[in-house]
Structure 1
Amino acid sequence: MIQTPPLFNCLTTVGFLFITCLLSASCNSTQQSLQKATLDKDTAAALTGPLLQPERQATATGDTAIEVLNAEEIRLNGKLKRYFSLTQFRAVLGEPDSTKLLRDEEPCTTIFEEADGSVDPMASYLYKNGSRYEHAKDKVAIDEISFTHGDFIIYRQVSLNAGTTVDDLRKLFPNAVAHMSIMEVYEHGKLQVIQLREDNNNVSDGQIRLFLKEGKLYSMHWWFPC
């Protein structure tokens, strides 16, 4: 029998162990690479998920927000903005049907309140065709509009008047109409009410309320909490 030299056996063993180590290292490296790739993928998903969620939520919130009625865009009887002068009032509407001093009415809020909280002692309400306007010195502002005597508003090229229906308002204010409710109004009974915001950033605590009677636009009021 031919005997293999001890040195050859030793070299063979070392070579086998070396190849085994190389294969093992290669497998471990491949496994680590796969694990790293999996971790990178999971990490990316974990980071991406939360970043996208607020954007989707913000879009949903924006889509369902109650609409703003921008006072700058309204034109009473197609001519007057919300704020105008006493001269303009007389030119478009004529003389008021009646007047009342604010100090006699004692409203909890006023439109032309001064920065220090004071109110012109001669400030008054002007009444015309069932509508009410606040007047201080030469300034006039719409407080409440009645649509039952022919007055109307042009808003975004749409006429809002006594013939305006809920469906008409839904085209302008779909989200607000979806939240329409019933309100008991002093001297007017139960009316449908649609509440709109005054500004996009919700700076104002007030609302613009559109009242409907028997499904038709009845009045409009700038409401502010006391």
Structure 2
Amino acid sequence: MKTLVLISILVFCLSCNNKNTKTVEKSGHPKEVKKTIYETKIKSDSTVIKDFLNEVMKEEDILFNGKLKRYFSISEFEEVFGKADSIKLISEEGPCFSIFENKDGSSDMEDKYLYKDGSRFENTKDKVAVDKFRFTENNFILFKGIKLNSSIPISDLQKIFPNATKSIGNMDVYKEGKLQVIQLREDENNIYYGYINLFIKNGKLYFMHWWYPC
């Protein structure tokens, strides 16, 4: 009889130990779930912040008149745009920044501005670069395969650059008057200090300009 009682007590104790073990294992799961939810929230918030930045317009994503990158030769300039309407020495204009400037911030005395149909290009020796590009009837750019020209309204730009167009501003432009302007970044990591300004006139794309601080 005593043996039977001892066996019963032993079985009861083992049963209690198993229940305690299951309870401990179960109590760990809510902590795991809570941690996962927190990590997901952090990722979501980071995405929102990143998406809020103005869009990027990289040089390599642009083709002027569907043919040229931002940098090209004199012969390519004349082939695509024709002969310059006028030419001025950069030293005479005295800009605070030059595309082909030397390491000390100076420009070669023979460097020039080439003007064509309202656009402005910089020229040093055989190299040419776009500084300001006017969207005339014939001028356009391909940006990631999308054609942008003088017939593009703000409503279309809002689809391509939704963040930048939210902060569209106004600027007094020399010889142009007050224009609306959209500011785009040059690179994803904000390494460059400059911006690309897209100017709007009468609700349509007017010209673009690489802007750098002095």
Partner of 2:62: 74
- Which residue of 189, 202, 206 maps to 2:190? 202
**Uncovered stretches (5+) of structure 2, i.e. residues with no partner:** none
1:218 aligns with 2:206: yes
Distance in 1, matches of 2:30 and 2:101, equals: 60
Structure 1 stretches lacking a partner, 5+ long: 1-7
**1:24 Cα deviation (Å)?**
6.3
**Whole-Å separation in 1 of the counterparts to 2:42 and 2:100:** 40
Q: Post-superposition shift, 1:22?
A: 6.6
Amino acid at match of 1:48: T
TM-score (norm 2): 0.84
Residue among 19, 29, 44 paired with 1:30 = 19
Give the 5 Å matches for 1:91-102: 91-102=79-90
Deviation of 1:165 (Å)? 0.7
Sequence identity (%): 45
When structure 1 is superposed on structure 2, of 66-75 and 83-92 the one drifting more is: 66-75
Among 165, 189, 195, the residue aligned to 1:177: 165
Q: 1:20 to 1:189 in 2, by over 3 A?
A: farther
Q: Are residues 1:106 and 2:94 paired?
A: yes
Kindly name which structure, 1 or 2, has the bigger radius of gyration based on alpha carbons.
1
What do you get for the CA RMSD once the two structures are aligned?
2.7
CA distance in structure 2 between the partners assigned to 1:201 and 1:195 by the alignment: 16
CA contact (8 A) 1:129 1:149 kept: no
Per-residue deviation at 1:198? 1.1
- Which residue of 2 is the match for residue 161 of structure 1? 149
What number of residue pairs does the alignment pair up? 214
Separation in 1, partners of 2:38, 2:116 = 56
* Other-structure match for 1:130: 118
Q: Distance in 2 between matches of 1:77 and 1:105?
A: 27
**Residues 24 and 213 of structure 1, relative CA distance in 2, 3 Å threshold:** same
Letter in 2 for 1:208: I
Q: Distance in 2 between matches of 1:149 and 1:100?
A: 25
Distance 1:160 1:153 in 2: 5
Q: Distance in 1 between matches of 2:11 and 2:147?
A: 84
